[in-house]
Amino acid sequence: MGKRSRQRQKTQNTGRDDRDNRDNAGWGAGYADIVKENKLFEHYYQELGLVPEGEFEEFMNAMREPLPATIRITGYKSHAKEILHCLKEKYFKDIQEVEIDGLKIEAPQPLKWYPDEQAWHTNMSRKIIRKSPLLEKFHQFLVSETESGNISRQEAVSMIPPLLLKIESHHKILDMCAAPGSKTAQLIEMLHSDIDVPFPEGFVIANDVDNKRCYLLVHQAKRLNSPCIMVVNHDATCIPTLKIDSDGKKDILFYDRILCDVPCSGDGTMRKNIDVWKKWTTSNSLHLHGLQLRIAVRGVEQLAVGGRMVYSTCSLNPIEDEAVIAALLEKSEGTLELVDGSADLPGLKSMPGVNSWKLMTKEGQWFSDWSEVPVSRHTQIRPTMFPPTNPEKLASFHLERCMRILPHHQNTGGFFVAVLVKKAPMPWNKRYPKVRREDVSSSAAAQTEGSPAASIPSGTPCPPDSAVEEGLGEKVVEEEEPKDSPLALETTDKLEREYGPPASKKKKLFGYKEDPFVFLTEEDPVFTTIQSFYNLSPNFPKINVLTRTHDGKKRHLYMVSKELRNVLLNNSERMKVINTGVKVWSRNSDGEEFGCAFRLAQEGIYSLQPYIRSRIITVSVEDIKVLLTQENPYLSKLEADAHAQAKKLVMGSIVLKYIPNPNNTEDPQCPIQLCGWRGKTSIRAFVPRNERFHYLRMLGVEVFRDKQGQGDKGPDGEKAVEGVEVKEEAGNGAEEKGEEKEVGKDAGDMDLKNGDTIGTSEPMKEPMD
């Protein structure tokens, strides 16, 4: 066995041992070899005085305790209310009665500061969950609902930045360092708060520098089935400025909201990332400060005037927090305002930002001012790491408006957040000369007014991209030379070298090569049968439909919002797009004989259905139970009304639509739309497994799997009727370029009552009867 193979085996065995230790010792265990002590950490934060007097011991004790698990209910508001009702009435009530080893289990509690009780936290460990069948059911509910996108497991403090952005459905949003994507998911949900608006005017562009982490981001965002999300792969310090068409002119895309959750040392995450205890040193912050400032500067450059940017870190260190904000405010020369966001989250306990701090090296040497730093350390320690020396300027920044969340105040992780509002264009954007840019619209020019006198602040990243390329700035007016004079030619050449875009170079692309995004035209032949078969409304935006191939048959059709189409078409050479759009149709290999080669896809049904005027069957709660628990029920199994509607339709893809009855509060009070197939004598729902389970739970049908995964148990411990699984459809991502795969199975016939249980069985092929 070679050295590399031995090392790989050793690593795998070590990982397996760690998992076993964690399983045996409960949540947060498996790290017995890591002592939760770091004298340098304690000395540093005691000296800084960030923790209120008399609370430091409590602070350190909290840092050593495991972090509570936190869940957030996601999706449309009406669906989220149903999930909350299910949690409170079915699971939380039962948990309150559970006793394990003589101790009563504490039921999950809502986060006081999160709106509408949509976020909950619990101290239950994995070990406790596995000791009780009832808690195991709760755990499986969380896993299933997480996979279907209806619940997110997310650290409590991580939920704060999106709330402070105050998202509205028309906002254009940039998430600069988005992976793994929990905050991005929040942003998407806020855009889609109204289920009656399938295509909000706003959108989210989620960026990450790490190509591999972008696919994790795609996985998170894809669960929400939004046509308004685009995942891109760029360095946030110089993320490209994008162009859009506006009234026939090329305009610059400025964002209404920007989330700037920068890479950090992560000392606020010690409760969940145990290895930070042994790795923490003050050098981490010194190395990251410059990167964080460059990302923040690039963010405010792309922010619209009047827009809001939230800067956040999971670090408590002022070098990564207040120092970055102070340097940013100093560079902005009054164009940015730091606002107090604490009133927006009543119930959240936070400490105000500090106006003074010191810097310590990993050897324990302290510096209070830049003047004290020896020349030999000037490359590691920079002036922007210290508080401003001018007391009036420091007071004008109002750094106390920053918010620092300490772990012991509300049993959370540590966190820092600051809210910035842009009042005017950035000063360096005003002062760059305009160089041969005639296509910039008046709205972009409005952001460029100002004095041409001063130079650009040092440390400003990507000046050609952020200022010149977009034509941001006023031209310096001087006495003109004749155009063909040597002086004029020399001056022009100098301007081009100094202020113009750099010479074009072949762009290096890292990571996987993505399939193209190809928009269809309104005259594309693919729409001929789709239009007639589904009777699409005249206002259906055909030009927003795209595919991922130039050649051959189109396997899947996706939709994006009008605004994202605008961005894609105008920036294909500027940005690397990893994923965008929601799947609305999939090619059916035998579909043409049924009138249309494309069947509806469940992912995009809520976006597409408002435009469909035929092939719709209105169903009842009992109809949905039958469709989601029976493999291929006969049409006669439907209630009379749905049966009559189905008999009028020819074979092929259909929409199954449930409309809530406000007078019957026992039934779900949110609309439900499912894709299905009308066969010759039968009918079937095409719904991914976890989404199927989700709807069944909303209807009162219990769905769970035994702990060993050896079958599905009924209420009395007997094996339940074979359960539900469906053909899950491949998504619109580079990680899903393969064929559709069987990941689910379908239930046999059964008569359902509330409390019935379903499990899993053999895979089925699509019925084409």
Binding-site residues:
177-183, 208, 235, 261
Closest CA to 461 of 578, 567, 328: 328
Per DSSP bridges, beta strands 229-232 and 203-207 are: parallel
**DSSP designation for 91:** I
DSSP letter string, 46-82: HHHT-SPTT-HHHHHHHHHSPPPEEEEE-S-HHHHHH
3-state secondary structure of 11: helix
Helix, strand, coil percent values for the chain (each to nearest 5): 35, 20, 45
List residues forming the annotated binding site for S-adenosyl-L-methionine: 177-183, 208, 235, 261
Q: Which residues contact 276 (CB under 8 A, 6 or more apart)?
A: 266, 267, 269, 270
Of 314, 402, 462, 596, which one is the catalytic site residue? 314
Residue pair 640/662 in contact by the 8 Å Cβ criterion? no
* Alpha-helical regions (H) of 613-655: 621-629, 640-647
Closest CA to 206 of 255, 170, 143: 255
Confirm whether 314 is a catalytic residue: yes
How many angstroms separate the CA atoms of 364 and 547, rounded? 58
- Cis preceding-peptide flag for 433 (omega within 30 of 0): no
Residue type, position 120, single letter: W
In angstroms, the first-to-last Cα distance of the chain is 55
DSSP letter string, 434-456: P-S---B-HHHHHTT-S---S-P
> Which residue has 């560079």 as its token pair?
331
The two most distant CA atoms of the chain are separated, in Å, by: 96
DSSP letter string, 679-721: -SSBEEE---HHHHHHHHHHTT-EE---TTSSS-B-TTSSBPB
| Residue 464, token pair as written in the block | 């050609």
How many angstroms separate the CA atoms of 691 and 729, rounded? 12
204 by Cβ neighbours in 10 Å (0-12 / 13-18 / 19+) ranks as buried
Task: Supply the residues annotated as catalytic.
Answer: 314
